[in-house]
Structure 1
Amino acid sequence: MGKWSCSLAFALALWAVVGCAQAAGTRADVRKQVEASMLLQGTLDIDEAGGVTGYQLKQADALPKAMLDFVDRRIRMWRFEPVQVDGKIVRARAPMLLRLVAQRADENYLLRIAGASFGNVEKEDESARPRGKLRPPEYPGAANAAGVGGTVYVVARIGPDGVVQDAVAEQVNLRAVGTVREMEMYRAMLADSALAAARRWRFDYPTRGEDAQLPFLSVRVPVEFVHWHQGQEEPGKWYAYVPGPRQRAPWLSQDSEWADGDALAAGGVYPVGKGPKLLTPLGDS
């Protein structure tokens, strides 16, 4: 975790997004949990031994050099389980998503890489894919009227027939502030609506590869509820939110299959357990 005496530009950007969240309520106990987050997209190059040989970030210009150096040091310390394709260990280039989080601490900001996800390096027909466009959920009226937006991180279990057998809201992050009870109510409201939609989704099961023989597969889908006065989350921009508690889908293992489930871009469908497996911590610990 890095400590920063931020530049004026970054400080203004951070307080601008935090201020948007505080406008929805002034509950001091919840307000302390507000985080400013930025999602970064890129690719990661991994050698046969699992070391990082290079990477690219599409939104590098959105960060000052000191923060880029912070991210660079941590990425280059990562080690992965060697990537295998068709039973052979290979060099690989994988899609990468990073979630940076900044929190104010006195006169400084604490910056950390709070999550990372690494995409599939195999062919498309070796993983589950949506059957057409996934139908979005209904925006709960009470949440909409109260100006409450947020993101529900759904993990869905898919059977060989493409039907969603089960779905769980792993985390619900809200872009609003209220009492603890109000936050619990709105999280449940958004989660229920997202899960109702998820159970109606349909997928095409893989036709080749090891996954084609499995009894079920899992995908993650971030579902955004965007109120009219808020913008949809875009990579390379800071957004303020209150992170919700996390829960694990009962069918997932307790390793990287459920870690870092919020380092995902809206509008995507992400196969669980398909990308390179990170063996080292994201940050300093």
Structure 2
Amino acid sequence: MTPLPPLPPLREVIARHGLAAQKSLGQNFLLDLNLTGRIARSAGSLDDHDVLEVGPGPGGLTRALLEEGARRVVAIERDRRCIAALEEVAVAYPGRLEIVEGDALATDMKTLVKAPARIVANLPYNIATPLLVGWLQTEPWPPWYDSLTLMFQREVAERIVAQPGGKAYGRLAVLAQWRTVPRILFDIDRRAFTPPPAVTSSLVELVPRKTPLAEADPRLLERVVAAAFGQRRKMLRASLKSLGHDPLPLLEAAGIEPTRRAEELSVEAFCALARAFAASR
């Protein structure tokens, strides 16, 4: 079999296809193949996994995932301009790259890959948080993926791993830590991107727990957490009124003092509140 010619440099691909990053799509391209290789390796051995990538752009990380041995990569890209560039990568790795043109937020991703898949992505900043929340709310649990290796703005990464008592602790920390074990792997300087974003980015790994940290209905937990942090400066006896129930019996049933604030509660305490809310309905 005649070896395929090497892929051209990413900067050449971007110039040839007119792929200037668009702020409206949250695009910031990674062109350093050493860095994209490090990100791909951070997801562990990919030999026996399908990998889902959201927002591949010109395909820098896509190349790395394939080079690191991913059995199959499914790349979801909304920007039609990038499709031709990704098709060049597909030709270089026959049968291993599937390109899906569309909006990731409106795509049933679990139907595109064989479970357990791995999700690895330099997420577009403008949809990173809703994508993560959607993956965390997957039903049934354990989910169809066995790890998430995702790029976020550093501020968002800190919110994911935050512990009770700090300003960064909020809805995202509770939802992430309830069902996964998250950790920040490493930071990436803004200058590594084209164009450089205004902030540092961080690569975050989230590994699903076999069972959530504590029992709770995911929909009711989301409602309780949203209410508590919606007015985070207020005591829980006031902030939880937005649930439409008297907060005091809920707090008493959960063993939580009414004068406490949302940022003081552990994930387990929020789960206890969600169970009390469920029992009151």
The TM-score bracket by the shorter chain reads under 0.3
Higher relative contact order (CA 8 A, sep 6+): 1
Higher helix share: 2
Q: Which has the larger radius of gyration?
A: 2
* TM-score (norm: length of structure 2): 0.25
Higher strand share: 1
